Amino acid sequence: MVIVVGNPANTNCLTASKSAPSIPKENFSCLTRLDHNRAKAQIALKLGVTSDDVKNVIIWGNHSSTQYPDVNHAKVKLQGKEVGVYEALKDDSWLKGEFITTVQQRGAAVIKARKLSSAMSAAKAICDHVRDIWFGTPEGEFVSMGIISDGNSYGIPDDLLYSFPVTIKDKTWKVVEGLPINDFSREKMDLTAKELAEEKETAFEFLASA
């Protein structure tokens, strides 16, 4: 398994995969678990629960400020009962606005506040990522991971390294299929795919001329 963390993580991961064609593309992944963890934490904070009480948030796309943190399919445990996040929060404008921008720009905000990078958060996220590859995801839960987009059912162009919701079993990831995507999500997912396609083109032009 090859896990890429250094930015631009998605495009670096795609470049690494292209540079090592003997290694299956499925063995490459990039870290969007840090964003995933941040999205869970923001929801937990808002509802006064722990991060562990929130599950199935999704980071779609690039590990950049165009990423789309999606909680349309996320659940939160309140008073021992699992409730949809939209239903629990009853604050659509926050979920479609400030929540998204906070997660997208969290890394920059941490650096600005601490004058240091969020290295410990990233280290924790890498551990989470590796643990799930090794031991699998819990039943009924999925996590976010940047993986090759080939053959996905969400209309994302092939041959991009894109963050999807995945379940993992026997050290093999599988994209969570069949999640309904509304127009708001569609637009955000396409926007981050467009950025990845542009990054890929720039990177490969540079490699070709190197």
Task: State the CB neighbour count (10 A cutoff) for residue 61.
Answer: 32
68-90 confidence digits (pLDDT tens): 999 999 999 998 999 999 999 99
First to last CA, the chain: 27
Please confirm, yes or no, whether 36 is among the known catalytic residues: no
The model's pTM is 0.94
Q: Answer yes or no: are the C-beta atoms of 188 and 181 closer than 8 Å.
A: no
Domain for residue 97, yes or no?
Answer: yes
Which is more confidently placed, 113 or 96? 96
CATH number at residue 149: 3.90.110.10
Is 72 contained in some domain? yes
- 3 within 8 A of 129, measured Cβ to Cβ: yes
Q: Exactly one of 36, 63, 73, 129 is catalytic; name it.
A: 63
Q: Are 38 and 45 in contact (CB under 8 A)?
A: no
Q: Which domain holds residue 51?
A: 2-203
* Res 209: pLDDT: 79
Domain assignment present for residue 173? The answer is yes
What is the rounded average pLDDT of the residues 106-130?
78
Angle 62-18-23 from CA coordinates, rounded to 5°: 105
Q: Output DSSP code: residue 160.
A: -
Number of domains in the chain: 1
Strand partners, 2: 28
In a domain, 208, yes or no: no
- Whether 91 maps to a domain, the answer reads yes
**Whole-number Å distance between alpha carbons of 103 and 61:** 13
Structural domain includes residue 209: no
The answer to whether residue 110 is domain-embedded is yes
Asked if the structure places residue 210 within a domain, the reply is: no
